[in-house]
Amino acid sequence: MLEISHVKKHFGKQEVLKDVTLKVNKGDVIVILGPSGSGKTTFLRSLTFLEKADAGVMVFGDKQLDIHKAKQKDIAWVRKHTAFVFQNYNLFANKTALQNVMLGLTVGRGMAKEEAEAIARKALKEVGLADRADYYPSQLSGGQQQRVGIARAMAVKPDVIFFDEPTSALDPELVGGVLSVMKKLAADGVTMVVVTHEMKFAREAATRVVFMDGGVIVEEGSPEEIFTHPKEARTRQFLRRILDREPGVEEEAPEPVPVAGPIPGVLPDMA
């Protein structure tokens, strides 16, 4: 369904993505693991044109485009077929949960308000927030805000949902609720590409696990292959440090990335 080949990206003299190729089949749940600074977030953002890659080819369905030279109409098309769930929710503070979910339908899809509201309410119900539809983000916990973000992504029925460290900004006790929603999406066959440090989610929900380091994909395979029989020494080293960590030692921080530009699946045509 989606194939990305030879993606490269520099920030100044720093080569963040060296040559990344990934294939996503319909129904896949691909979990991307890796240390901070490995290029995971930059790769995800390049696929939705939140970052402009220096090189790369995308084949999405029957459409093929040069990622670096993509025209605005092609970018808009990709954004209408994808959705993005951010680290820090990216909800509009002056709009209720319901209104945040509806935006991708009314503004992004041109849908009538009544139809959009029905779909948005259903999406909020599916993430366990039917009774919070009229709450503003400031009245919601971090976990609830992230579930609104997921509902917003679900509502537009994208071909692929990209998740960028969706639990990294949450207090530990709120992580479970968000992961439960994501596991349900996976069980329902929603195609997902997830950057995360949540190893349990990767083991239980992923159809394929990708390990990145130094701007390249070091290794990929099934959860069983990666967690039980990793082939590469760098993969083994990373997993040993994460899985055998002493109690009380925090995971390394996710890559902090400022959000700019339109939100895929929400406002695809706004610069």
Tokens of 176: 């479970």
pLDDT of residue 184: 93
Residue 69 lies in a domain: yes
pLDDT of residue 262: 58
Question: What type of residue is 166?
Answer: P
The string of pLDDT tens digits covering residues 72-92 is 999 999 999 999 999 999 999
Residue 136 lies in a domain: no
Residue 193 lies in a domain: yes
Q: Give yes or no for a contact between 38 and 44, defined as CB atoms under 8 angstroms apart.
A: no
Residue 27 lies in a domain: yes
Q: Which residues contact 56 (CB under 8 A, 6 or more apart)?
A: 4, 5, 6, 7, 8, 20, 46, 66, 67, 68
Counting the structural domains of the chain, the total is 1
Residue 229 lies in a domain: yes
pLDDT of residue 20: 97
State which residues form the domain around 13.
2-92+159-244
CATH code of the domain containing 204? 3.40.50.300
Residue 270 lies in a domain: no
pLDDT (average), residues 13-28: 96
Residue 253 lies in a domain: no
Residue 115 lies in a domain: no
The string of pLDDT tens digits covering residues 150-207 is 999 999 999 999 999 999 888 888 899 999 999 999 999 999 999 999 999 999 999 9
pLDDT of residue 255: 47
3-state secondary structure the chain: CEEEEEEEEEECCEEEEEEEEEEECCCCEEEEECCCCCCHHHHHHHHCCCCCCCEEEEEECCEEEECCCCCHHHHHHHHHCEEEECCCCCCCCCCCHHHHHHHHHHCCCCCCHHHHHHHHHHHHHHCCCHHHCCCCHHHCCHHHHHHHHHHHHHHCCCCEEEEECCCCCCCHHHHHHHHHHHHHHHHCCCCEEEECCCHHHHHHHCCEEEEEECCEEEEEECHHHHHHCCCCHHHHHHHHHHHCCCCCCCCCCCCCCCCCCCCCCCCCCCC
Residue 101's pLDDT band (boundaries 50, 70, 90)? very high
Given a cut of 50, whether residue 241 has pLDDT beyond it is yes
What value does the mean pLDDT of the chain take? Answer: 90
pTM of the model: 0.88
pLDDT of residue 108: 84
